[in-house]
Amino acid sequence: MDTEDIKNVVPDPSPFSSTTRKRKNEEIEESLKSGEYYEKDFSTDFTIIIAENGDKIDRIRCRKCSKIFSSGAGGHRTTHDINLDSLQLPSAHWLRNQVESKGEEIFRKIANELAVPIEKKEACLVLDFGKKVHDFLSVFITFIDRSGEKPQLKALPFMFMPIFGSKRAEQVVEYILDGGERLNFTRDQILSLRIVGDGGSNIKKLEDYFKSYSLCSCHSLQKAAERILSPLEIHETSFHPDEAKKLKELSNAIDNCGELACLLRRYRNIHNLKKLPVVYCRTRWLTFITCCQDIIDVFPVLETLTDARVLKLREKIRPMLPQLITCMTLLKMFEVPLKMFEKTAMRLNEVAPYLFKLKNHFSSEKEKAAKERNFVLATVAKSAFISISHYIKKTVSDPHLLATYMCPGMRTLSLFPDEYKTKTLELIKEEVLNVQIDAPAVLSNPNHLILELYDAPPPPPSALTELFDYENAKLSTEDTLMIPMEFWEKHKSRFPRMAQVAGTVFCTIASESICERSFSTLNRLFRSDRQSLDPEFVETLMVSFLYLNNCT
């Protein structure tokens, strides 16, 4: 038998010792003699196989199933229903050609689906740099799909580009334009779209190139919550020394909760808790709130534990426990909107009202706590009010204002401060005045005698007439609760200009969580250290997988 048939493997320093994995010497002897296993010169006890060069081999390979096993194990109990020798496996070249061919077909389908929305500017780019798939720029495109009975928001993968050099805004723009060119879209078409990103300085600068930039509302909510107990440097002067000290104490207590959670999870087999607390991870949204709440819930059980390691942290947390419970009542206010806005859905109209609602709530809690002389609640509420006010300025952009006004159930802007109301009305007026509507269709070969029996059709409303009509229209309950794009599709003849504006607004989503989810999915399939070998081929695999499996 040829030497090439041997699978040489470095001897395992710790040979198999479990009796359940060993076989009788007769079994491996019969298998070697029958040719079922590859073999070379071997010793009489079959625990060592000697190669021609004198090296010891402690593992061999099954001829039928190619499984590697220890020669000391005595074989393996595998039923060989398939003879690999009779199969012809495709080559790497064949597989690559198949992937590239299928990828080209998928890119054509994506381009066809995007052609009309991009032409109408009813599409938005959503992008993020990967943390799990390192140095990859992930770009999705969300758009209004009008191919069905009702207009729907849809998302498709647009491009995945490895960034091994500079991540400057100018470079990112060129990458995005290259991705658009591959789908046969012009530079002007791509630059006329809106952008949603995570707030990085290089991504934020993209607003200088594209129609508009919106900060991911989920990132904004996360940062606002985190900065309640750790205020930004620019806000430190807003707090009395006693208030700053109290916030620091609460922050340290939450850090202790995170440390205790790690300890309980590490020694889970010792303590046998019914529920393990979530570990506080800074890269995961609001886990510090969930972690702290879990420690509060499990604290009565911790009182019964005698582990010295748990005891030390438990006693650190105990004096702060009532204050942490008070703090959680405000911090948990961020959980509901975070879960709402991370979905790929038409929820842009809810972002600004919800942020303003949170701001009003924290303001009222601050005043209430001050009257009740609850120093802890008053301090946390004050910090929450300052934090949410700061991130409202960074988050609420033109698309958010327009979307809220164009939601029939929110058109009064009741939760908006006066300055934002004024800005919103100016924006919608500007947008509507810039819309050019088509002239009414002329009938071919009209029957003038019949037409004379009917009143002349009314002329299209002016832009200002549309706005006045929308603001004062008496809408049914069904209309006010309807998904915004369905409302505008239903009333597009009554509000032709505003219906066009609606498509360019509601194609924007509230967050870029779709990119985060795609990275989590792709991380299970692609090794992050292999992407530099052939980035274009890896991109084809990524886009194809996400498209074919509807991972959006």
Q: 269 vs 227, which has greater pLDDT? A: 227
State which residues form the domain around 165.
101-216+528-541
Q: Please give the distance of CA 13 from its chain centroid, rounded to a whole number.
A: 44
pLDDT grade for 502, boundaries at 50, 70 and 90: very high
The mean pLDDT value for 319-341 works out to 93
H/E run at residue 460:
none
pLDDT grade for 9, boundaries at 50, 70 and 90: very low
H/E run at residue 551:
none
Shared domain check, 484 and 421: yes
Distance CA 161, CA 532 (A): 10
* DSSP 3-state of 170: helix
- What is the pLDDT, as a whole number, of residue 73? 55
Residue 112 clears pLDDT 60, i.e. is over it = yes
- What is the pLDDT, as a whole number, of residue 192? 94
Shared domain check, 253 and 191: no
The model's pLDDT over 193-216, given as tens digits with 9 standing for 90+, comes to 999 988 777 778 888 899 999 999
- What is the pLDDT, as a whole number, of residue 431? 94
Shared domain check, 376 and 254: yes
Q: Which of 63, 86, 109 is at the close of a domain?
A: 86
Residue 234 clears pLDDT 90, i.e. is over it = yes
Which of 65-79, 132-146, 378-392 shows the lowest per-residue confidence on average (mean pLDDT)? Answer: 65-79
Shared domain check, 257 and 365: yes
Distance CA 216, CA 195 (A): 10
Shared domain check, 117 and 170: yes
Shared domain check, 321 and 425: no
Residue 451 belongs to some domain of the structure = no
> Residue 187 sits in a domain of what CATH number?
3.30.420
Q: 416 vs 274, which has greater pLDDT? A: 416
| Percent of the chain whose pLDDT exceeds 70 | 77
Dihedral sign for Cα 219, 224, 230, 232, please: positive
Residue 68 belongs to some domain of the structure = yes
The mean pLDDT value for 519-543 works out to 73
Most trustworthy range by pLDDT among 10-14, 57-61, 288-292, 411-415? 411-415
pLDDT grade for 521, boundaries at 50, 70 and 90: confident
- What is the pLDDT, as a whole number, of residue 42? 39
Residue 334 belongs to some domain of the structure = yes
Mean pLDDT taken over the chain: 82
The model's pLDDT over 264-312, given as tens digits with 9 standing for 90+, comes to 988 888 877 888 888 877 655 678 899 999 999 999 999 888 889 899 9
pLDDT grade for 3, boundaries at 50, 70 and 90: very low
Shared domain check, 196 and 108: yes
Number of domains in the chain: 4
Residue 270 belongs to some domain of the structure = yes
Q: Which of 37, 52, 86 is at the close of a domain?
A: 86
Shared domain check, 127 and 76: no
The mean pLDDT value for 230-253 works out to 94
Which of 140-149, 163-172, 222-231 shows the lowest per-residue confidence on average (mean pLDDT)? Answer: 163-172
Residue 221 belongs to some domain of the structure = no
The model's pLDDT over 427-477, given as tens digits with 9 standing for 90+, comes to 999 999 998 887 665 556 666 667 667 776 777 788 999 999 999 999 999
- What is the pLDDT, as a whole number, of residue 71? 57
The mean pLDDT value for 7-22 works out to 38
Residue 225 belongs to some domain of the structure = no
Residue 103 clears pLDDT 50, i.e. is over it = yes
Shared domain check, 372 and 254: yes
Helix-then-strand count for the chain, H and E? 23, 9
- What is the pLDDT, as a whole number, of residue 70? 63
Extract the tokens encoding 256. Answer: 């202790």
CB atoms within 10 A of CB 495: 22
Shared domain check, 138 and 58: no
The phi and psi torsions of 276 (rounded to 5 degrees) equal -90, 140
Shared domain check, 143 and 18: no
- What is the pLDDT, as a whole number, of residue 237? 92
pLDDT grade for 6, boundaries at 50, 70 and 90: very low
The model's pLDDT over 333-366, given as tens digits with 9 standing for 90+, comes to 999 998 899 888 889 999 999 999 999 999 999 9
Residue 523 belongs to some domain of the structure = no
DSSP 373-400: T-HHHHHHHHHHHHHHHHHHHHH--HHH
Shared domain check, 532 and 494: no
Extract the tokens encoding 542. Answer: 């990524």
Q: Which of 27, 60, 86 is at the close of a domain?
A: 86
Residue 300 belongs to some domain of the structure = yes
Q: Are 493 and 411 in contact (CB under 8 A)?
A: no
Residue 377 clears pLDDT 50, i.e. is over it = yes
Triad 473, 478, 480: Cα angle to 5°:
50
Kind of pairing between the strands at 49-50 and 194-197: unpaired
Determine the residue type at 507. Answer: C
**End-to-end CA separation in angstroms for the chain:** 53
